[in-house]
Structure 1
């Protein structure tokens, strides 16, 4: 199983960033506007549409407010892994900023490269958006 690990420092407090990350229904659109063009909830999943046309149906696994960690799984649409588990976790930094860690475990292994590239691009937008406070809208 391939594992993709990415992390960034965001110039906002952990609490402010976590408030957006934990929003399963609208979080992707709030944290990465333009990179994510639509997020909607359908039954037990959210459907995330990306600017490049990729669509991911994701099922919530857990939200842990104490650990500031959300876990979800891609279960279909234009991305069809045989196994997928992803987590995003926010850690407070001593300077008042925070660190966002995003881990994606996926099968088949050949999906890791494209997921890693998408995660890098998405995190660039997330850093800019959450540091500027634009996600509050």
Structure 2
């Protein structure tokens, strides 16, 4: 079972039928993971209502693709991190790890995505590897 679902689809002002259809499928499923809704903003209210009616926690954020060939993943990334901390960190006992590592507890996919940037730029007193990464 997934810990978090990222539901995206449709550019803002564009097709909303697919993301609404997919939200109904999620709502009807046995999966009860929190859903970050990062698709067509014109459909988000309907999508969140469908999920809420099924008892599915839904967290809307900015569309990951607000226009054709335009990506804006930072709001979705932040929403996933917040949902992860709110729902999963405590449920899996990872909140105890925060005592040792502070606020750097994050979902594994986010850690993997952040790794190349950390290697390139470095951290603290440690120099990064630059553009070779």
Output the TM-score relative to the length of structure 1.
0.28
- More strand by proportion, 1 or 2? 1
Q: Which has the larger radius of gyration?
A: 2
Q: TM-score, normalised by structure 2?
A: 0.28
Structure number having the greater helix percentage: 2
